[in-house]
Copies of this chain bind each other. A is one copy, B any other.
Amino acid sequence: MDNFELFGNIEQGKDFLESTKNGKFLFSFVISYTETCEIPGITFAGTDKNSIQFTPPADAEYLHYGYCKTIDKIPMTPDGKPTPGLLTKTALESASIPHLTINAGSKISPQLPFINTGMTFGRNISIQDAMTDSQVSNAVDYGRIVGRSMASLTDCLVIGESIPGGTTTALAVLKALDFDAKVSSSIPNNPVELKNQIVNSALERIDSDHPYSIVAKVGDPMIPFVSGMLSSASSVSNVMLAGGTQMAAVLAFASKIGFNEENTTIGTTSYITDDDSANFTSLVKEIADIPVISVNPGLENSQHSGLKAFSEGFAKEGVGAGGSIISSMIKTRNDSTKFLELAEKEYRRLFTSL
Contact = CB atoms under 8 A, between A and B. Distances in A.
A145 B115 contact: no
Interface residues of A, number: 25
Interface stretch (A37-45, A106-114, A279-287, A291-299): A106-114
A230 to B, nearest CB: 15
B98 A153 contact: yes
Contacts of A64: 145
Report the copy number of this chain in the oligomer. Answer: 2
B112 A115 contact: no
A74 to B, nearest CB: 19
B118 A115 contact: no
Interface in A113-135: 113-118
Contact of A116 (B114, B145, B152, B154): B114
Interface string A145-177: 110010011100000000000000000000000
A134 B112 CA distance: 16
A113 B145 contact: yes
B98 A152 contact: yes
11 contacts: A24-B153, A100-B149, A109-B118, A111-B118, A112-B142, A113-B117, A113-B145, A113-B146, A114-B115, A116-B116, A153-B153
